[in-house]
Amino acid sequence: LRVYSLRRFKQGWDNYVYELNHTLVVKLSKNIHSGEKLLKEACLLPYLRVRLGDIIPLELAKCVVDIDREQHVILVYEAIPGESMVHRVPSQTLSTHIVCRRLAYILQRVHTMRLPAECAKVVPVYNTPQKWAETILSEVYRLTEMAGSTLQPDLRKTIFEYVDDYAGRLQHYGFTPRLIHGDIDPRNILIDASGYIVGLIDWGEAAVGDPALDYGGLFYVDDHIGNHVLKIQCEEQVKT
């Protein structure tokens, strides 16, 4: 494979991400933990693509390599032409209602998909409020550790207090466990020039858990979009 161009994306907590020859995305895990997420993504992508079509990247290759005596995972898939919703602008022609209907449809298709047997060992299952609360706490602690000294002590304390309180309240709520994306935000939703959704990427946080997490992620995209999708989705009744 000849390399004509190589561009590194700035964002990415868990992986180094590159665009190769304008047509391929190459992910290199930073550590063992993120490598496990890449293997999970690689396992799910073919099944998700059957279910959801070409909004899911086409996996081309994966491998495990040793770098400085540590195992890392490389995942390669075809790039989906489009921009992330971070770059969404009001002048795009599609109405918000069309975008919301598309998002509601996509999430419902994900949430009603059976977990493939081949992926059962790599996709975590949080099927009770207690397990769900525990994983949220664990993930917050992991992310604050990664942030290190860039996170001020007072802010760190506030985050822990808020999350501890939320996790405590969460254990009193019920939900129907579903396959979820787990990391819905503007960076992971791709759109074309007209604003039509053409990609849903980065499945490293996929799990069986509370589908409310995916709907909640839409509020990172836009408050109006988040509220509208909640109103038109057909999965759960939303208490107001």
Reading the chain (240 residues) residue by residue, the pLDDT tens digits are: 788 898 998 657 789 999 999 999 999 999 988 999 999 999 999 999 999 999 999 999 999 999 888 999 999 999 999 999 887 755 555 788 889 999 999 999 999 999 999 999 999 999 888 898 888 888 888 888 878 888 888 998 999 898 889 888 887 888 899 999 999 999 999 999 888 999 999 999 999 999 999 999 999 888 999 999 999 988 866 554
Whole-number percent of the chain with pLDDT over 70: 94
Q: Give me the pLDDT at residue 89, please.
A: 58
pLDDT value for 240: 44
Task: Report how far residue 162's alpha carbon sits from residue 176's, in angstroms, rounded to the nearest whole number.
Answer: 25
SS3 209: strand
Give CA separation, 162 vs 136, 150, 168, in Å.
12, 19, 10
Query: In sequence order, which residues have a C-beta less than 8 Å from that of residue 17 and are 6 or more positions away?
Result: 8, 9, 11, 25, 26, 27, 28
Measured in degrees and rounded to the nearest 5, phi and psi for residue 66 equal: -100, 125
Compute CA distances 216 → 72, 130, 194, 204, whole Å. Answer: 31, 19, 25, 18
